[in-house]
Structure 1
């Protein structure tokens, strides 16, 4: 029980008990011989007192009562020391899984109410499967005493059957072979009444996020004992919010128990106070997820290549060619102009594998980075062959060479994948739509440049004079002299002009 201020837990606060089971003789033996050496006799006495708070022959809730009754039943004084002692004993029960304590509050309650939810003791088989509990018992009573206790809870198989090799046949009779129910007269009122009368637990308002379902026992079992974060991970035993956050991160990034233990063992996941740093955990989990994805993609590509090389004798049957409708024709790019007409080019693009189609755009070898990108698009994105060929036509066969980059190829392929382009016809419509969008973008850009140039020139001219009013200049507007139209000169006039020029030069 985590209590920050002892005044939050007093004998005046009210409490109630919930129990959904009854103790059997095996459970009593487990409490006396197994749990009592681990948590102490007083903690087991507290457990039994809480157990009898609900009548023996019933399950469900007890009445709301002040904790003074609990203190008096344990023979404790009403003081601070007794409160700390009860908190310590409940914490022991919570640590071994016998009790869950909650604090309830809300607008409908004028005070804080404590809930003690009892858990049934584990069966001998389940207890000794939890290694952290078995090792705690070993630290308390010793290894040989634990072995003896384990043997005292089980009855051995008869000697005649222990060493024999026998075949087992299930000859039990199922329910519906012996009993027949009248399903037509099914009583819905009875089902509803049974559901309403049963003492069900109140729904707890919690974060409705998904979880990986990793229990604390499995987490601590795989976590290294020599780790510096071992003490912090052990605190998650009673931290429901911390365990839910760990499970959510494991679910979000598809991590196994071993992977999440590896992340919790790294530095920075817990702060100095031992609190889980969820942001740092998500950052490390995201990095591991990306690395695993990259390795998986590489593995798929290697396996695909291995399959091709492992079966060289198996020749794939040639698929029947599919005709292309005239309205779905795409123009022949400049790189292939003169080598094929539009019908041949579209037939190749529709029916040829992308590995052969892309070679037609290169006179020699295909760049290695381009082969890797197309291989990833084929094996990881799983686009259809005709769609990949249309992608090659759009990017590599286009006139803009600056678009032939890894980023642009990956962007177009992922965009096709998101838009559900899975056929040749859809790919053609996608390419035409993108071309139309690019043309509209260029037109808007030209229009904005034209209008922006005139406005910017007038604004610059208006602000040059330093006037407070924009658009008005202090300098006079000087007209710019344009080129005058030259008229034709006759030969006589030209000779007169030459004489005048020599006279002025003193050569006349």
Structure 2
């Protein structure tokens, strides 16, 4: 628990428990034999105490209780040392993954409530495959004790099968080969009722997401006679690929039917049945552009008939949000100055897909050439989403019309790619460095003296054919021309004959 002031954690503060599981016999054995040597008996006893705040056979939330009840139930006194000891024990449970603590502030009140969310103990296979937990247990009980504990928690296979070369064939019957569902009579009232009685935590998660495609929805709408049916069924055991599939659906505004149509195409799965995310994104981007073009045509048609009514509602992304440090904040562009503050703008730029972020700079539709250019940068250049959003900020947010060209956008993206700009922080540093270079260039241009400009003009003139040497007059043009008289002319002729040897 990261609480620096003990006055924020007193016996008067209230708390509640949340858990969505029940302990089995193997879970109890893991707590006593595996987790207790690592965190101590008092921490495990506190875990058991928190677990029983919710009645057996139920999951969900407990009642709001004061921390005084937890202190008294643990045999601790009402003082600062007891609260500090309780925090230390809870920190141990948090470190090994059995507890997660959150602090909630109630609106229109100064009261703070603590949430203790319990987690199920790991199974023996999961625990011993987690390296840091296995190493901690080894440090506590020793190497040979760890080996013995693992053998005691699992039964080995028979000796006849241990070293035999077996060919394994899956002959299990799939669900839809045995059961038939009436898809036509889908009960919407039942779905709504289940949503209403679900825990608030689950319903809030569903409402905060734009596109959450569960495996049940996917397999319900996927064709049974498709060649990719077996690969789609394996997604049930691959939650990571299912999350990537959901992100692609959210990014390109695809429905469950669209995703099923894409998964039914050839080349989406490889020979081993693994989903090819890059290929799926390529085809999803093509479908997204085609749907966008059809929507634009539909909007123009409806606008002419005065039926069209635009809606600009956007849902927040379902992915985990990443915080942005103040040292990496970028200024809000002039176009969005009245839309959000600097913290909201940087959070949007850090967490939103570029297909959503680019729309905020345009009152209507995004130009097709710009959408295609950004799609090429995403799919071909493989720049991360936050870096593309920084590029949008640098090109469009600067309010410089000379930058909004295909050549400039491609040049900036290529420069980012060559400089290995692959994180939000690196992109911010890159943009700031470019701004400093541009400012230095402008200052240098303004500080050039006029003499240099004149010399530069003379140099340009010499290239066009003019002489670079100054024109120096040999005879002054200001001297007056004097007229020679007849007597002087005769005297000159006489001197000339004398010089020629004639008398």
TM tier, smaller: 0.3 to 0.5
TM-score normalised per structure 1: 0.43
TM-score normalised per structure 2: 0.43
Q: Which has the larger radius of gyration?
A: 1
